[in-house]
Structure 1
Amino acid sequence: MIFSYNQAHIGDVLLVIVADDKGQENQVERKGDIARVSTVEDNQVVGWNIFNATDLLGDIQGSGQVKLTDEQFEKLNEALKEAGFSEQLTSDSTPKIVVGFVKSCKKHPDSDHLSITQTEVDNGEVLQIVCGAPNIKAGQKVVVAKPGAMMPDGLLIWPGVLRGEESFGMICSAKELHLPDAPEKKGILELPFDAEVGSVFPIGE
């Protein structure tokens, strides 16, 4: 689940993104200051728009991807209920952009530039991630954007399939992370080997 807030460009609207619509046509049902966004084909809820968000939740810290306090999360679920929606949101506070360790890396069988990695992201959790960077290799410490992450440019990370191979996240370059003085040359950011796997990696705005 991704919470996004940008008062300067969108206004006092909290965007709650709960699933990838995969390019399907969406429909919106609005009740008061709450709008539910779902797919037309199967009525799957993919997001919520919360208008006049600070009136409901109080001050929202940050811009872009933001975190709600436990109290704000409870207020949001109560507002959904009071508006007449049956759905409730489930909190997920696990970090989404973290240090990872590339345990293995092999060439993609149907691509001359993609690689398939098995990358540990925390406490033994390993994700298969397809990566197109020329400098990717086993044994690296890297930055991983897990499914449910929002990149500094607004890109949302969801599970996908690249040339027939499943991929559960993205191994990031310095430029994608909006780090200062990021090189223009294509390639993932390699971290010092003492970087702690699973630790949060701070990103630029």
Structure 2
Amino acid sequence: MQITTYNNNGLNDVLMIQFKKMEATKQVTERNGDIVLIKSKADGEATGINLFKASDYLEGLTEGPLELDKKAVDKLNSLIEEAGFSVKLETDYSPKFVIGYVTSCEPVEGSDHLNLTQTEVDNGEILQIVCGAANIAQGQKVVVARTGAVMPDGMIIWPGELKGVESNGMICSARELGLPQEGKGIMVLPDDAEVGKAFSV
């Protein structure tokens, strides 16, 4: 998984690609030219790449989260290879916000408000998602932010754990999607909503 963001206003023409969520204090950097490799201190695993003077190498950059096309990914991979780093970027055009169907919903042991859901997102693909909304229930059609999604407020959805339970994605409220919130909790879609279809934020 890779999260790509272009920051021109705050960091002056820097493209940031993040592979893994990790505290800055647990990472080290290595620079060659305009490419910076970010690695875990513990095991040397690559956690990200920064490209300085990004607009010198790539066209059409806009402030904020980006989806890179194949041409941009190929260019970046060429720059990374020239810098001597053994990291390879991949293209990913799968939608990050999709319509899901809650196939099961059970309380999380030891919690008074969390529920463990199994939520279908496409052609039988099931995601385990922990949800804290009071109105979550089995049989609902919902909006799912998959891992790798960047929310309208800039928050990135990473794999995680709640109360020790693995959670891969988020079932969204209207407010979290930047839409008018009519009631408390998650946004429940009509029964005829198509599971797996991309949801535009």
**Above 0.5 in TM-score?**
yes
| Corresponding position of 1:194 | 192
| Corresponding position of 1:29 | 30
Report if the CA contact (8 A) 2:68-2:91 is conserved: no
Report how far residue 168 of structure 1 moved: 0.8
Report how far residue 20 of structure 1 moved: 2.0
Task: Indicate the SS of the match to 1:129.
Answer: strand
What is the aligned residue count?
200
| Corresponding position of 1:59 | 60
Report how far residue 170 of structure 1 moved: 0.7
Report how far residue 24 of structure 1 moved: 5.8
1:121-200 equivalences in 2 (<5 Å): 121-179=121-179, 181-183=180-182, 186-200=184-198
Q: Deviations over 1:179-202 (max 9, x none)?
A: 2x234x541111122222112212
CA distance in 1, matches of 2:31, 2:24: 21
Report how far residue 96 of structure 1 moved: 1.4
Report how far residue 159 of structure 1 moved: 1.4
CA RMSD of aligned residues (A): 1.6
CA distance in 2, matches of 1:130, 1:182: 21
User: 2:153 corresponds to which letter in structure 1?
Assistant: D
Task: Indicate the SS of the match to 1:117.
Answer: strand
| Corresponding position of 1:3 | 4
1:6-85 equivalences in 2 (<5 Å): 6-21=7-22, 25-60=26-61, 62-85=62-85
CA distance in 1, matches of 2:152, 2:28: 27
Report if the CA contact (8 A) 2:46-2:87 is conserved: no
Q: Deviations over 1:114-162 (max 9, x none)?
A: 0010000111100110000000001111111111111112211111121
Tell me, which stretches of 5 or more residues in structure 2 are unaligned? Answer: none
Report if the CA contact (8 A) 1:64-1:152 is conserved: no
Of the structure 1 ranges 62-71 and 21-30, higher mean CA displacement relative to structure 2 is found in 21-30
User: 2:185 corresponds to which letter in structure 1?
Assistant: G
CA distance in 2, matches of 1:201, 1:24: 36
CA distance in 1, matches of 2:25, 2:157: 17
CA distance in 1, matches of 2:128, 2:24: 23
CA distance in 1, matches of 2:100, 2:33: 43
Report if the CA contact (8 A) 2:133-2:185 is conserved: yes
Report if the CA contact (8 A) 2:174-2:186 is conserved: yes
